[in-house]
Each structure stands twice: as C-alpha cells, then as structure tokens.
Structure 1
Amino acid sequence: MPDLATPLIAWYRTHARDLPWRHPGFGAWGVLVSEFMLQQTPVNRVIPHLQAWLARWPTPAALAADAPAEAVHQWANLGYPRRALWLHRAAVEIVARHDGDVPADVDALLALTGIGDYTARAVAVFAYGQRHPVVDTNTRRVLARAIDGRAQPDPPSRRDLIAMTAILPDEVTASTIVNAATMELGATVCTARAPRCDACPLAAACAWRAAGYPDTGDNRRRQARYEGSDRQARGAVLRMLRDAAPTPIPLAEVIADWPDARQRDRAVDSLIADGLAEASEGLLRLPT
C-alpha cells in the first residue's frame, strides 16, 4: 500500500479549515456536542448552533439539569431532532456514570445514548488524543478512491475501520492528524460529485485516478425526498411546538391545515413514540 499519511499530514497543515472544535482546549464536551450536530448536517449550519449550545450548556451537568424540551427547542432547525433528545440523555448518563466528565474510553462512549462507532472514536481521538480509526462518509470515499480504485464507497461496514487503521501512523499525534486530514480531504477536495483531483495531495498515489476515473457504480443508500415526506410533516409539528413552548397546543390545532391529514397524524404519533413530544388531555407539547 502506498504511503498516504505523509502527503495527508503535509496537506492538512496548510489547508485545514479553521473550525471551533479544532482549537486547543475546546474540550471533550464541545467535541461530543459538535459530533452530534455534524451528523448529516453541513459545517456552516452547525457552527452558530454549536456556539449557542455551549454558551447555554457548557458542561454535561448543565444540560442534564435542564428539561429535554429545552434541548429539543434549542436544536431549532438543525434537523433530525432525535439527536437533541439523545444528546440530553447522554448528558444525564455522563453525570450519573462518569461524575459529569465525558469518558475517554471507546467502550464507555459507545454505551452512551446516541453514540456509535464514529462518534465514540472521534471523541477518543480528537478530545483525548488516542490512536483509533475515525471513519465518516468523507473518509470512506477517500479510501475507496485512493486505495480500491472505486468512484464511491460501499455501504458502511466494519471493514472501513480496518482500512483506516492500515493507513494510520504508529505515532499517536500523527495518527490524529491523518484521521482529521482524511475527513477534511473528502469534505473539501475529494467530494462525491465534483472531486478536485488537481488539488489533491493523493493524486499521484490514487488508484481511481490511475485507472482513468472509471464509473464503478454507486451502492450508497439514497435519502428519501424531503418535500412532501413524513419528515417534513414531523418538522412542521416540531416547529409549531417550539414556537408555542412552554404552552401546549390542542391536538386538533397542530398543523391543522396540513394537506394530508393521515400524514399529519403519523407525524404526531411518531414524534410521541420517539419521545420528542408528549400528549395529555388532548394537548401536545415538547417533552418534559
């Protein structure tokens, strides 16, 4: 396998974006919150929400002491609002199990609500300086192209962690940079639709480029269309509840003008099932 670490480190030191969670002393709680927010949400949308969140709840204990409804309300329009509820539950668990300190151990992180392989390893690596493979969508695309000669990666699997581990330097600090650099390269240069191969530090070693950029297919799962979807209806219900909070809304008045009454009812029922809303005596509110 070609040496990918050396050019990645050199490139990252010159081209890395100035992002809040990369600043010295940002802290494990800030890293954890940023990783929750960055799931399926662009960086430019996350930054102002992250800053507001940490100003309001600078520690897990501060968030845990507040109501879940406040977390859902603060989440605003970031999308996928279950992440707000999971982050609140994780904060409660951190207080109960770890005396309010975000754990450094990957298994302990995995045991927290809403945390999977990526987030657990990202916190362990970027907050605590450990050597683990950190693999997101951007990382997987870089590895698929540079090593396997494929235009797009296969669906996520445990093989991704093995592939990323194989390119990590043994030295811990260098391995942290390579993790960050691979993600950064996928986000800014080796993009899904319009890769800028002329600006890529891995161009000379890239198997996909050497093969002439073949179309090897795309097995990624497609996200359902948002417009007219149940997700859109759920978002409309949550916006109404946030705008009215803390006052509950009569169920009959919740997005009463929604064009599909059955979809509206599904949205309300699914929000209640997910713990994002509560119904009582004909009223609907954010969770208490």
Structure 2
Amino acid sequence: MDKQLIIDQLKAHKKLPYLDYRLKRNTETFTDTLFYTLFDINTDVETHLEKLEEQFDALVNLACWETAKPCHKIWENYVAELPIILKKLNLDAEAILSCDPASLSIQEVYMAYPGFYAIAIYRLANVLYNQGFPLVPRLMTEYAHRQTGVDINPGATIGESFFIDHATGVVIGETAVIKNHVKIYQGVTLGALFVNKSLQKTKRHPTIESNVTIYANATILGGETVIGENSIIGGNAWLTESVPANSTVFHTPEIKIKTK
C-alpha cells in the first residue's frame, strides 16, 4: 500500500470549499444555551446572555466568509427580538396545553413535547434567517430536526399559537406560510410540487390560513395552493390545489375484501 499516494488522492478529491465543522458543533452548543436561557429556571438570564454573545462571536468568525457583510451588528438586533420570540413561544405552549387532552401541565409541554421544541428552535432561527446570517439558522433547525424528526426550514413564515402534535415526520418548506392557530399532526408535508434550482426565488410551498387543522400524513404541495381558514384536512389527503374557507377534505380508502 502506497500511503502517500492515498493521501495525495484524498487531497485531490477533497474539493469542497472552506468547510469547518466547528461551525456545526458550535451552533448546536449555542442553540442549547439559547433554549436553556429562555426556559430553564436555573439558568441565569443576565449571565448567559453574555455567554451567548461570546458564542455568537465565534459563530460570526466561522460563518461570515464575506468580511464586508456586517455580521457583527446582528447580535444586538437579535437580542432585542428575544422577548418577542419568547412571548410567541409561550403562546405556542399554551395552544398545545389547551388543545391536547393528553397534556397534563404546561411544564410537560415545555420539557417533553418534541413539537414545541421544534417550533422553539425554528422561531429562534427564523430571526437570524431574516437578517441574512449565513448557514447558522439552517444548522439550528437541522439540529432540532435530528432530535425531533420535525423538519422546519428557518425561512418558513409561521403565525401565533402553532401546534404540532406527535411531531415525527413533519416537513415544512422554506416558503410555506402558516397563519394563526393552526394545528398539524405527525407526518404532514407542506412541500413543493417539484424541485428545480431555477425556482429558488419563487414561492414553492403552500399557504395555510388561520384556524386550520391538518391531520396525520396529509401532503399539501405548491406555492399557489392555499388552504382556506377554518378548514379541516383529513389524514392521508393529497392536495395540489387550493381549498376554500370552511372546507373539510378527506381521503377515502378503497377497501377490497378477499373472498374464496
């Protein structure tokens, strides 16, 4: 075995741009610190805001490859948004508690519901996404994705009092718009009709108006698809066209009974 030859071949094929996996690890640490600062009673807010600023500076050094971009200015704007984010997350937790008969306490929602955790990390990442901070918001939501099975792109727009029940398998695309008081169940996909790089700057994912409930494994596709307010989308439904307000949509299975 020619060890040097193998090393040279590996280096020749290692054509990726600057790729430092410390960014991924540091983002996960930052996300954990952020979550505990907002919710854990034993995590002092003042002390940990200073710690978060240090962690964020480290992320800036790793993530901001274009030195002309004012990444260092983002932190102050972000901290100013944290009370607003926390207020929204408290509304999300209250929506879960009031909607789910299995929830025994608000403490259980904050600590045990994967849907709440996924929403929390999405909301914390979305503000950074909207400020144009590169890569970190996506790493934050992918961290939550890995832990919960919920894939929410940080670019999605989600209103108040959002409820994801059971959570696993939910997919919400980058240009999806979800209004207020929406409930979705496990396996729901809010996706694009098809994938093409030329569509990057277009709305590819559906709009869900207020007070809509979407049951398990329903798939709703397309940027022009709008689910009208107060509608109920049944489990396993497949939708690529808009639905008017106050609609009920359901999938009817075909049942064939085998006879001798």
Tell me, yes or no, whether TM beats 0.5. no
Greater relative contact order structure (CA < 8 Å, 6+ sep):
1
Normalising by the smaller structure, the TM-score range is: under 0.3
- Taking structure 2 as the reference length, the TM-score comes to 0.26
Structure showing the higher helix proportion among its residues: 1
